[in-house]
Each structure stands twice: as C-alpha cells, then as structure tokens.
Structure 1
Amino acid sequence: MEWLASPELLAMLFVAAIVAGFVDTLAGGGGLITLPALLLAQVPPVAALATNKLQASFGTLTASWRMVGSRMVRWRDVRGLFWAAVIGSAIGTLLVQRVDPSILDILIPVVLIGMALYYLLAPDTTEASQPRIGEPTYRNTVAPAIGFYDGFFGPGTGSLFAFTRNTLRGDSLLDSTARAKIMNFGSNVVSLLLFALGGHMVWLAGGVMILGQLIGATLGSQMIVRGRVQWIRPLIVIVCVAMAIRYFWQSAI
C-alpha cells in the first residue's frame, strides 16, 4: 500500500482523525468520519476496520483517562461494564473476519434514525431519571451486545453505549457519556488486538490518525469535564442522522 505514504492522503487522514476524536468523545460516531476516510484512501474493508480500531483506541483511551482522572467515573463502578464490552467485542471481531458484515447495512440505519428521533423529540434527559432495567441486566446483556457490534463493525458504538445508559439505566446525559467512554475503550482495545493478530493493520495510516485522535479526544474531554453537556444532545442527533444518510447513500449506489 505504497500510495498511503502520500503526504496528501496522510494529511487527510490526520484531519479526519482530529474531527472524529472530538465528535466521538462528545457524542460517539467518530467512525462515521474515519472509516469512510480510510475506504476513500483505498484501504481494503477489513484492513480499514482494523486500522480504524487502532486509531479509535487511542481516542477512547484519552477520553477514559480524563473521565477517571477527573473522578467523573470511578473504575470500580464501571469495571464490570468494561469487561462485558470486552467479551462482546472479542466475539464480534473474531466473527467479522470470517463472514460478510453487509447485513448490518439493513439494520444500522433503522437503529440510528430511532436514536436520533428519540433525542430530538423526547423530553430533556440531561438529568438522571428512573432506571428501566437493573444494572446486572444491563451489564450482562446490553453492554456485551453493543460490544459485539463494535467488534463486528463499529461506527456509532459510543452513541449506543451513551444512549442505552441514558434511556435504560436512567443516567444523566453527562454520566452516560462518561461511562460510554470506558466501555467503548474496552470494546476498541480488544478488537484492536485481535485484528492485529490477524495481520490486517495498516500501521502508517493508523499511526498518523492516532496523533489526530489524541488531539480531538483531548479537546472533547475538556468540554465534558467542564460540564458543557448542551453540545452532546444535538451532536448525537447530527451524528446519527449523518451516519444513517451515509448508509442509505451507500446502499443506493
């Protein structure tokens, strides 16, 4: 893949990673930006998924470090969620290397539009609310299921974690976003390791994008730590709609 050494392509991937790291930290869905950028650079699909995990792992690591360091979340409170996401992601990553993931193109837009409509039309969910399911149920079912999706495909995982914590567990939008970073890091890093063992990584592109992710995730984390949650809800709507449009567009062509 010598063409990826092109300064223009590497600059494009770097900028895409900065924007993705910022958006992903606040609302999830950074893969909407980075995965198409890698495919545009003519990286083969499985290698694009693998390289996307490489750079995304550093973004979620940065965000998770800030969440724990600022005491917005405590490790003992999210440890079980982290490992549940890890287990689901490991299964999804192993499976995607053996089957055609195109079936997700039918299901994902429906889920994304549903999430966007909820945040657009539902009452304000900034504050905590009454949980609809217990924490053990969430940890044993929802967290590994979303982790599986992240390992199998990926874009929108952060949004799904935040959305389900907010709607099913009643976490405030700020708390659900903070917890989502920890779970998303777990699902990212195990997927990264399994993809790397499978030999699918494009290291040059991934290395350049890591630098961009670190910048974007740091900026996004600063906004969350400062409590600027007014940005999160509209970003989730925009990201979900944009991702759904991309899927519909891709299927149309």
Structure 2
Amino acid sequence: MRKIIPMLTIICLLMAAPLFAANLTLPPELGATARILKTERDGLWEKSLIVQLPERRHLLSTSDGIINGLGAINHSAHPLLWKKLAVELATKLQCGGKTYEQQRKGMIANKLGLQPADLTLVGTAADMDNLAVVTKQFPPFTVTALVTAGAKSNALRAGVDEGTNIEPSDPPAGTINIIVLTNARLTDGALARAVVTITEAKTTALEDLKVTSSYTKGVQATGTGTDSVIVVSGTTGPKVTYSGGHSRIGDLIAKAVHQAVLEALEKQNGFKLKKKP
C-alpha cells in the first residue's frame, strides 16, 4: 500500500539539492565535527551549521531542553524566507516557521542517518557566513563557542521592554544563537548553570558595543527577543558540577562567548568596539 504524504509536508519540504557543504575545524579534544550545509528554497538561501557527535551526549537546548543527543544545528535562512513563512502561517496557506524548522531538522537527520529526536535545532535570519568561532583552553579544559548574531532590529532590555505574545509569531529578524562545546563532562546542573554564564557573557558583549534596545530609545540592550543557546557536554575531560564565573570552565565559557558575540555582531551588523582615547 502506497504511503500518502500530506500536501502540507510536501509544500514545506520543497527545496533544492544541497549546493555546498563547508567543513569547519574544531579542536580534537571536543570529539565533534562541524560543517555548513547550504541549500535554496524558493530561490532564497538556507544555511545550516551542523555539529555532529560520534556518540550520545547530554545537550541542553533552549529549543528542546536536555536531550541525550547526537548533534546540534543552528539553521539560518534568508530574512525574506522567514517573512514569507510568517505570512504563510498567518494566511494558513503553508507551514509557517516552526513547522519549517522541524522539516529542516528532519531533512538533516535523514541525511545523517539519524532520527529527528537525536538532534536539536535553533533558527536565525543572521547569515551563517558571519559565523564566529572562538576557542579558549586552559588544560585540561577546552571550550569552543560558535555564534551567529544580529541585533539591529530585535534588541531588547529584559525587565524593561514589554512582551505581548504567548508564543513567538514574528520571524527571527534579530537573533543571537550560541552553541558551546566543551570536553568537560558537565552534569545536568552544570549544563543549566552554563546557560547563565553564557547569557552574562552575551550581555557584556552587547554592553561593550553599546547596543541599545530596538523598543525603548536610549536604553542598553541585554539580548534580543529570540536568542537561543545550546550547550554540549564532553566525554573525555574532567567531571564538572558547577560552571559559574568562579570556576575555570565558567571563565573559559564566558571569554569564548564574549569574544564570539563581539565578532559575530561586527560581521553581521557592523557593530565595533569604540577605541579608548
């Protein structure tokens, strides 16, 4: 009996064959590979950073929580494509951004010979060509941050700017996505604490660049309304139960993220540190 595929799924999956896959070099201590998969949909670019793991590891993702996964994805698509998906969702013509992301994750999982549940994915409209990759080491620890960042149209100050949606309905016009890899064997608590450290480092980068809120004039931004984080535990390094700023691993995470956010925002938006007189 032939399997009937819903028309909605067919529409969502319409895309060209991969155009190019670029490999990135990661420290061998991390035991992970990374590459960027480039495709097109409706004539608009799509670029996915794929971090693949040789064995299952604990990952904490702001999209999927803690999973025992085999990879992490930061997917970027042309801003016009996100806007088109938002219109399609509003008019109930096609799949919308969330379904599109799930279909993208399914396509990549199939390409890797995995199940979608093995992966976690975050989305952005920042161009993956502006990815910043920063590694910090202090034996026996290695930390690498992979960051895409846009903050010109969606920057906000937490606790000041108002949130009005139950679920996000707008395309990710400005987003800071951060993937952190380490060789350290992070407990679930350390994974969660790492998100705090990462957020603090991101905010200090925004402060250093003097990025202001897109919603409240003249107010310092602390992030954007759609930021995401993925933290990937290692397998060969020391066991870590605390990843705050007083720990060596927390210090490395903060420094790697801070530098990567600075670099990514300069590449994407042209934000630069002001030279001291």
Query: Do Structure 1 and Structure 2 share a fold, with TM-score over 0.5?
Result: no
- Which is helix-richer, 1 or 2? 1
Q: Which entry has the higher C-alpha Rg, 1 or 2?
A: 2
TM-score, normalising length: structure 1: 0.30
TM-score, normalising length: structure 2: 0.28
- Which is strand-richer, 1 or 2? 2
